[in-house]
Each structure stands twice: as C-alpha cells, then as structure tokens.
Structure 1
C-alpha cells in the first residue's frame, strides 16, 4: 500500500469529509477522491461510504493498522535523520501530566547546573501522543507517568525501537472531600471503594483502575482535562474520588483530604523514553533523568 494513499484515507476518515481532507492535505477534492479510489482498487474493497462519509467494515479494520504503520514510517525517517544530526544544546522534552514530579524536577535542575549551555523546552501532552512525539523526532526525550503495580512497566503505545528506563515511583493517595465519611481513615483499601463515585480523568482513568483492581468504580463526573487544580476542586466539592501521587496534593491537603492507599500496592510510575541518541547533551540529560 502506498503510504501517501494511506495518509489520505486516514485524513478523510478522521474528518468524515473529502473537502476537509483536501484542505488539510493541500489537494483538490477531486485529487482526494482519486487517491481513495486508487487505494480501494489496490485492495479490491470499498473502504469508505460516501453519504455520509464513513469507513466500511473493511475501512475500520484498515484504520486499526494505518495509525501504527504511518507512525513507524515517520519514526524510521526521524531515526535515520538523527544519525546525521549535530548534537544540540536545545533539547525538547515531552511529558505527560504529573510526570514532572519533585524527583524529576530536581534531576533536571542538576543536569542544567552540570551543563550551563543546556536549554530545555518542556511540553505536556497525553500519554497516547507522547511516544509519537519522541518517535517522530519532535521531542528528544519523553517522560511518561501512570498508575502501575510497583516495578511494572507502563503500557505505552507501540512506536518503533525505543529505549525506556524507570525514573521514579511514588505512593498514591485517595483524594476525597473533607466531609466524606472515610476522610478520617489512616489508610484505605481500593476494594472498599468500588461502589463510590469517582472522577474519570486522564490523570486517573477509571479503565486503568478497573484493570488493576476489578470491576466497579462508577463515574461521578468525567473531566477531559488534565489540570490538577481543577481535579482537586472537583473532588473537594464532592463530585467524586480520585487517585493522585502524594506530591500532587498540597501540603496539609488544601481543599481536600488525601488518604494513602493500603491495598492493592499501586504507585505512580514515571518512565523515560527515547530513540537512539548520539553522544552529547541529549545522552547526558537522559542519564541524569534516569538517575
């Protein structure tokens, strides 16, 4: 399959529109239609229904493969270009929310003190985007954070050859409103909270919690953002419980009550990921962050 045709197909399917895909890719609508027809002729299958524009069953199956395939192609290009690139003192670091914890911040400060010329450009993004940014060469280093069992690696999207290293593991706390009946406990078992209402957020996705603990954990409120202050405010107002690393809650709890988790033993784990790095500032920073 021609990757250019595959890119066009993915773009049309994402927009649900030939004209919108043409505008994004810089083609005429007629050219987009011809490219889709060429891909369908190559496979001998209809991939898109035209009114409305949506994938057929075969098209949906192709979309499952298309994203990883195109990412691997972009990653291969970036990996080859890296071999000829000159070492740079300007490094781009992508991090998921909560990945830059006190341990990471301190190691970053030490690395900058050891390399006075080092410039760091830090951006945050969702976990599903992080590996792609690193693989495509739009960030030299990535810091991914998530809930895991101790020493268990995070589940990161497949994005080609990538080195990973554990950076830190931090205890989790259950965040409750101050007036909650369980707010005074010394520790809490998550199994005792499966029927409580929970906030479903990118910082603590309930699908991940159910994977680790079991069914239950009904949604009290779904929040699609990743601002910690907003999550704490929602929890303080009684919209639901959530799990956060202990360092994300203000000293003394602030507007909420934070109770350590007794069982199961879970942590907020941070991992460093990067593709092949040439000797120089990027390699030195990776070593400093990994500790």
Structure 2
C-alpha cells in the first residue's frame, strides 16, 4: 500500500472534500481523485462515497489502520535520518504533565550550562503525543508517566522501536478536600472509594479507567470533567469539593485545602520513564544520563 495514497485518503476523509484536500496537499483536484481511485483499485474496495464525501464501511476500517501506519512510516524516516545526519546543537524534550519534577528542571539547567549553544525546548504534552513525536524525531527525548504495579514498565504505543528507562517510582495518594470525612485516615483502599465523586482528568491525574481496572470494580464515575493538564488547577477543584483524584503524593500534598492520603491498596506507584529512539547524542545524551543517574 502506497503511503502517499493513504495520506491523501486520510486528508480527503478528514475534510469531507476532494477540493479542500487538494488545496492542503498542493495537488489538483483531478490528481487527488486519481490517487483515491488508485488506492481503491489496490484494495479492491470502494473507500469513499462521492455525494457526500464520507468513508464507506471499508474506508472507515482503513482509517482505523491509517494513523498508526503513517506514524510508523514517519518514525522509520526519522530513524534513518538520525543515522546519517550530523549531530545538531538542539535539545527538544516532551514531558507529560505529571512527569515534570524539580529534578528535571535541575538536570536541564546543568545540561544547558554544559552545552551553552544548544537551543533547548520543553513541551508539556499528553503521553501518547510525546511517544509519537519522539518516534518521528520531532522530540529528542520524552518523559512519560503512568500508574503501574511496582517495577512494572509502562505500556508504550506501537509507533517505533523506542528505548525506555526508569527515572522514578513514587507513591500515589488520594487527593481529598481537607474537610472530607476520610481525610484523617492514614491510608485508603481504592475499592472502598468506587462510589465516591471523582474528577475525570486523564491528563492531570491517574485516569478513572485505570482506577476502575486496578480496583477490579465498577464505579469511579466522573462528577466533573477536567480537560486541562495542570495538576494545580485540578487540585483547586478537589479543595473546593468537586471530587477526588489520585496523583503522586508529592504533588497532592503541597496543594492548599487538600489532604493527600496514601493509597494503601492496590499496590500502585507513579512511574516515570525516559524514552528515546536510537542512542541520544550531544545535549540529549547529557540530559538522559543525568535523569537516569
């Protein structure tokens, strides 16, 4: 399957228009139509209706495969480029919201002093986005996090051969309002909290789906959704009584009006991993060594 044809198909499906896809891709509308026809002939199936321009059942199934396939192509291109390109005085790091830490800031400062000419960029992004951009070479290093059993690795998306190394494993806590009836406890069992009011904040706390699976219980229904990636904003909602959240203990315990009660069961930790594609070089190698030391 030609990735150029697949990319054209994805663009047409996204716009719902051959002409709009042609403008984005820099082709004529006729060329776009020919590419879609060539892809349909290759797969021996109609992929797009014409009036309106919407995916057929076969086209909808192909769209499910298209994103990962195109990402793998870009990751392979970036991997080869890294092998033949001259080292760049650049350090681009992606970090998921809860993977940020004072140790990262200190390591970045030391690396910048060691490589004063390097252009340093730090981006806070969802963990899956960090993994994808490391795979395609847009980021040199990534720091991602998740709640796992002690010593278990994080699950990485199948985007390219990524190397992952543990940076930290930290205790988790249930964040409650300071006036909550359970705030005086020395530990809390997740299973006992399944019917509580919860904040749905997948980018700033342990996702509710993960809590549900870890507790092997139904419940954990969201009372309020929080689409941000700022733990401080989330903890302000906790303090105001909008719901509970599970975060690293060190993050939750510093928020005013919040009580961080250790998670006693099940045994879960907040794990942070450093990821990269291929051996890091230059400033990236220096930072990676500091983070995993």
Q: Map of 1:21-32 to 2, 5 A cutoff?
A: 21-32=21-32
1:184-203 matches, within 5 Å, as 184-202=184-202, 203=204
| Partners of 1:236 and 1:255 within 8 A in 2 | yes
Q: Decide whether the 8 Å contact of 2:253 with 2:259 is kept in 1.
A: no
Q: Which residue of 1 aligns with 2:39?
A: 39
Match of 1:231 in 2: 234
Partner of 2:91: 91
Q: Distance in 2 between matches of 1:287 and 1:61?
A: 43
| Deviation, structure 1 residue 243 | 0.8
Distance 2:19 2:253 in 1: 49
Tell me which residue corresponds to 2:221: 218
Is residue 87–residue 281 contact of structure 1 (8 Å, CA) maintained in 2? Answer: no
In 1: Cα distance, 2:166 partner to 2:3 partner: 34
Aligned to 2:274: 272
How big is the alpha-carbon RMSD for the aligned residues of Structure 1 and Structure 2? 2.0
Where does residue 290 of structure 1 map in the other structure? 292
Counterpart of 1:13?
13
1:246 equivalent in alignment to 2:249: yes
Contact 1:83 1:278 in 2 (8 A): no
CA separation in 1, counterparts of 2:226 and 2:71?
28
Q: Determine helix, strand or coil for the equivalent of 2:229.
A: coil
Can you list the C-alpha shifts for 1:4-52, whole angstroms capped at 9, x where unaligned?
A: 1101112222334434433332334443333222211211111223344
Cα gap change, 1:52 to 1:210, in 2 (>3 Å): farther
What does residue 173 of structure 1 align with? 173
Q: Is the 8 A contact 1:176 1:242 kept in 2?
A: yes
Superposed, 1:70-109 pairs within 5 Å as 70-109=70-109
CA distance in 2, matches of 1:111, 1:136: 23
Conserved? CA contact 2:215–2:266, under 8 Å:
yes
TM-score scaled by structure 1?
A: 0.91
1:175 CA displacement = 1.1
2:136 — aligned with what?
136
Counterpart Cα distance in 2 of 1:19 and 1:234: 46
1:196 offset after TM fit, Å? Answer: 0.8
Gap regions ≥5 residues in structure 2: none
Matched positions, count: 290
SS in structure 2 at match of 1:277: coil
Distance 1:52 1:216, change over 3 A: farther
Shift of 1:63: 1.8
**Structure 1 residue 116 displacement after superposition:** 4.8
